[in-house]
Structure 1
Amino acid sequence: MSEPTGAIDVLVVEDDFMVARVHRAFVERVRPFRVAGAASTGGQAIEAVDRLRPDLVLLDLYLPDMFGLDVIPRLRTAGHDCDVMVISAAREAETLRGAVRQGVVDYLLKPFEFEDLRPRLERYAARRRRLLTTVVRGQADVDRVLAGAAVPAPGVTLPKGMSVETAELIEQALRDADGSMSATECAALTGVSRVSARRYLEHFTAVGSAEVSLRYGVAGRPERRYSWRG
């Protein structure tokens, strides 16, 4: 699997060629995700996972050769530990319960828009990063990993309209930066808008987690640049 600071490889499993193209385009718009390949049947999905070793599988359930949920145990039997996010029109409660029992990381109903998929991918990326990098010092660390955004870090309260997932993306960008960065640079790295990046950066500055400096150019306003204080 990819390193936590690298790309997250995705396999798109969808039998409709045009729908698969849309899903691929959506995924490619969210950093650090990239589409490693696509499959249109359950058999192709199993072969593609074996060959490509993706981190995440976007799995349709109504496949020509088998029901999508039957793909998952075959992947586990073959020793693959990739995560699975179901993307399907299946609304039956039993199907949802079966997906939960199979350990899927999320379940998104068709049809959907980019803004429906994006926060789910961001949430997955944040939780995956916690799983790969967390140091368990006590129960609170375990709870944060298992519950994801439902259990914020002790003492951390975000202003209304801000999400834990996006805050973690911005924080990671700041931590990984070689020096300081502008809101524009941060937006380009994380895939959020410049306005959103600026809002989170200013929040981190206000609570003392980041510090801001001014860079003066030839003309115009000085550029605000941010760096993580940790």
Structure 2
Amino acid sequence: MIDVLIVEDDFMVARIHRGFVNDVEGFRVVGTANCGEQALTAVAELHPDLVLLDLYLPDMFGLEVIPRLRSAGHDCDVLVISAARESEAVRGAVRQGVVDYLLKPFDAEDLRARLERYAARRSDLYTAVVSGQADVDRAMARVAAPAAAPTLPKGMSVETAELIERELRVAEGSLSAAECAARLGVSRVSARRYLEHFSDIGRAEVSLRYGHAGRPERRYSWRS
């Protein structure tokens, strides 16, 4: 069982995150903290394996918590959950050795995927047998941070891309550009552009539906 501490200043958000985590097999929430100082105290008392760390805390910036944990001798892993999109925050998190960085807003499946990936890496690392450099290289590859998401083409927004990605993920079957546009309240042309982008980078699959007349309808589904 992997013990998790949630560090989040909004108690309603913390409650939602607790439910998300407890629904993932092999994980359990052992406590919550609503500021950096509480997080430091909770880690010392609860000894969690993983800390879900918000960055916008009332008493300090979240990344300041990590070196204080290390100087106190705590070796728990940290997964950042934040609305912070600044490149400085992301680079700082990478330098601090976080295991993942999840942007708000997100849904339960977004967090589940990252927790399961973390659990797999953790298991691999704990069971690795090191008899030479090749074994070290394999272990380092297992815990390497995931590749950064592809940069969006000019004129596309991260927010709209995330909305359309989420709609594709939860859709039963496939969606057309018109259906996606209607669900999200965006133009069909805009939805089609994002959907084609996901297809171009291999994140979505395209199928054709032939009707009685006219051009076939392009339909999109998320590639697992």
TM-score for the superposition, normalised by structure 1: 0.60
Matched, 1:33 2:27: yes
For 2:62 and 2:80, the matched residues in 1 are separated by 8
Cα distance between partner residues in 2 of 1:30 and 1:134: 24
Cα deviation digits, residues 182-208 of structure 1 (max 9, x gap): xxxxxxxxxxxxxxxxxxxxxxxxxxx
Which structure would you say has the larger Rg?
2
What SS is found at the alignment partner of 2:98?
coil
After TM superposition, the structure 1 stretch with the greater mean CA deviation from structure 2, 75-84 or 138-147, is 138-147
CA deviation after TM superposition for structure 1 residue 149, in Å: 7.9
Q: How many pairs does the alignment contain? A: 144
Q: Look up the equivalent residue of 1:134 and give its one-letter code.
A: A
Q: Residue in 2 aligned with 1:9?
A: 3
Gaps of 5+ in 2: 145-224
1:43 partnered with 2:37:
yes
Task: Answer yes or no: is 1:99 the counterpart of 2:90.
Answer: no
**Does 2:115 match 1:121?**
yes
Q: Work out the CA distance in 2 between the residues paired with 1:41 and 1:149.
A: 28
TM superposition shift of 1:133: 1.3
Match of 1:144 in 2: 138
Cα distance, 1:140 vs structure 2: 4.0
1:141 Cα offset (Å): 2.9
Quote the offset at 1:132 in angstroms: 1.2
Q: Distance in 2 between matches of 1:127 and 1:46?
A: 25
Q: Which secondary structure state, in structure 2, belongs to the residue aligned with residue 54 of structure 1?
A: coil
* CA–CA distance in structure 2, aligned partners of residues 111 and 148 of structure 1: 27
Write out aligned runs for 1:115-194 (5 A): 115-148=109-142
1:52 pairs, out of 43, 46, 70, with 46
Gaps of 5+ in 1: 1-6, 151-230
Aligned residues: percent identity? 75
Deviations 1:126-175 (A, max 9, x none): 1111111110234443233222288xxxxxxxxxxxxxxxxxxxxxxxxx
Letter of the 2:48 partner, please give it.
Answer: P
Q: Which protein has greater RCO, CA pairs closer than 8 Å, 6+ apart?
A: 1
**SS across alignment from 2:17:** helix
Partner SS for 1:127: helix
SS in structure 1 of the partner of residue 119 of structure 2: helix
Q: Distance in 1 between matches of 2:54 and 2:47?
A: 18
CA contact (8 A) 2:35 2:58 kept: yes
For 1:16 and 1:149, how far apart are their aligned partners in 2? Answer: 31
Deviations 1:35-92 (A, max 9, x none): 0100000000000000000000000000000000000000001000000000000000
Task: For 2:75 and 2:142, locate their aligned partners in 1 and report how far apart those are by CA, in whole Å.
Answer: 19
- 1:2-26 Cα deviation digits (max 9, x unpaired): xxxxx10000000001100111000
Measured at CA, do residues 113 and 9 of structure 1 come closer, stay the same or move farther in structure 2, by a change above 3 Å? same
Query: Does structure 1 conserve the Cα–Cα contact (< 8 Å) formed by 2:6 and 2:32?
Result: yes
Structure 2 letter corresponding to 1:111: P
Shift, 1:110, TM fit: 0.2
Q: Partner of 1:84 in structure 2?
A: 78
